[in-house]
Amino acid sequence: MNIGRSSGILLHPTSLPGSEGIGSLGTEAFDFVDFLVETHQRVWQVLPLGPTGYGDSPYQCFSAFAGNPLLINLEKLATEGSLCTEDLRLEPAPSLDQVDYGSVIPRKQILLRKAFEALRRSADVEQIRRFEAYCGRNSSWLEDFALFMAAKELHGGIEWTRWDPSVAARHPDALAKLRRELALDVDFHKYCQYQFFKQWEAVKTYANARAIKIIGDVPIFVAHDSADVWSNREMFDLASDGSPRVQAGVPPDYFSASGQLWGNPLYRWEDMARGGFDWWVERIRAALSQVDMIRLDHFRGFEAYYEVDGKAVTAAKGRWVKGPGAALFDRLEEKFGRIPAIAENLGVITPAVEELRTRFGLPGMAILQFAFGTDPQGPDFRPHNYPRDRVVYTGTHDNDTIVGWWTSADAGSSTRALADVEREREFALKYLAADGKEIHWAFIRAALASVAQLAIIPLQDVLGLGSEARMNTPNRPSGNWRWRFKPGAISSGIRARLSELTALYDR
């Protein structure tokens, strides 16, 4: 991946401002691109764009291929005539600084259904042609996904292993009957995907025309309760009842003394290899059609992954198992050439993981917030040790904000002792030649000044926000992914300062 010396901002679209209770692909998304252009940024990084399931997490999606209908901008549907102005005033009034998923989800569902009904009643021939063409181009995943979502609603939202056994097991007669009975609901979910990707393509086209690249996120694992697993059981290591025989996680680490238990099913990599890794080929093809570059989440799992018993309640006990390694990436290069990707090489990183990363020309990540403490990768995360082939972040979606990390009165969500925290902060002040005031700008300056080819700053750090703006706390099952920035939060002073530093360090 070579985009030259540059910088960008990490912001998930759900965090955009707006009147719909959640960020969307409307005017605010285009305004954000304009902000990137104004401040000389070259990159907008987002989290996975799929339809969120458990815990509203973009890392637990109902599909690895689909888009999140919650991001569809309703005002655009009103402009197209599918909704009217009065529809957009449907109560309850949305929150401006937090996503209240409990109110946003039913509100959007009602209005999207109304827009779909309007299309059915009054669409002209050209509108129908475009919709059907989209469905045809994406039938390889869209048919199963739309049926999965319709069946999930029929079963009251419960996970697929608890559905009618014949449907859960995908008996052909049961699926044919379901498609007939749920045809309208299936078409509704296809319509939502059609609208999402139409709006997303408009945002991406606008960004690309202004020399802004978009980095997307490809999690290594998929959610168990997903169309991917339901329609491809043979690819996953499942028990006879469809539940995960083993599950993904990571051993005890900075964030948790008992490890992180993710619950995702693990792949049958040998079976995938015999099939030419076709599912992964299609997954990467879909990702590269949506974004310009990708971040391969939990890259180390491709070399070796941490396997935990499917019935375990913590990740304290598990084992490392060899992953597909170079065979998968050889196949992907055969299909796509050198993939424009970043390897998220955080955690327990071995020489074998680094050999795999460098063999395929994938830049690794450095987290500046981890540079000053006892993290084993700490020395590698200090700017004087960076190679140019690196992507530096002040922090990620899993970190506290820089200001929150700096001002917290305790060890927060990490396993650090308070004495470790104090030593960490003292070292950071010395290293950054800072006085502790505006600590976020000291971190931003260090990231931008480094030799790393790409520097990414979460918008929360640009705004100097505290822990209230944290996006995710690993191992916390709820209350994450809610933060939104308020209209007008990116002041002229912030814009000028970011622009100045970006230019100063030749980004």
Which active-site residues does the annotation give? Answer: 297, 344, 398
DSSP states of 84-99: -GGGGGPSSPPPSSB-
Bridge-based pairing of strands 390-393 and 364-367 is parallel
Fill in the amino acid letter for 462: V
CA atoms within 13 A on the CB side of 151: 31
Residue carrying the six token digits 């020489």: 351
- DSSP-assigned letters across all residues of 158-189: --GGGS-HHHHTT-HHHHHHHHHHTHHHHHHH
Distance CA 97, CA 140 (A): 38
What is the rounded distance in angstroms from the CA atom of residue 377 to the CA atom of residue 381?
6
Closest C-alpha among 37, 47, 28 to residue 8: 37
CA of 108: how far to CAs of 64, 145, 157, 234, in Å? 21, 19, 17, 34
- Read off the tokens for 426: 């003292």
Query: What type of residue is 108?
Result: K
Q: Which of 295, 403, 281 lies closest to 46, judged by CA? A: 295
Characterize 162-191 residue by residue with b for buried, 16 or more Cβ atoms within 10 angstroms of its Cβ, and e for exposed.
ebeeebbbbeeebbeebeeebeebbbbbbb
Quick one: CA torsion of 13, 50, 5, 15, rounded to 10 degrees? Answer: 20
Tokens of 439: 């600590």
In terms of C-beta density within 10 A (0-12 exposed, 13-18 middle, 19 or more buried), how is residue 322 classed?
A: exposed
DSSP code at position 61? B
Q: Show Cβ contacts of residue 98 under 8 Å, excluding neighbours closer than 6 positions.
A: 482, 483, 484
d(CA 86, CA 218): 38
Query: What are the CA-CA distances from residue 2 to residues 149, 213, 338, 390 (Å)?
Result: 39, 12, 11, 11
Residue type, 449: A
Phi, psi at residue 56, to the nearest 5°? 60, 25
Cβ atoms of 12 and 18 within 8 Å: the answer is no
Q: Name residue 98's beta-bridge partners.
A: 483
Enumerate the H helices of 266-350 as residue ranges.
269-274, 278-290, 300-303, 326-336
How distant is the alpha carbon of residue 468 from its chain centre? 20
CA 284 to chain centre: 14
Residue tagged 């929360």 (tokens):
460
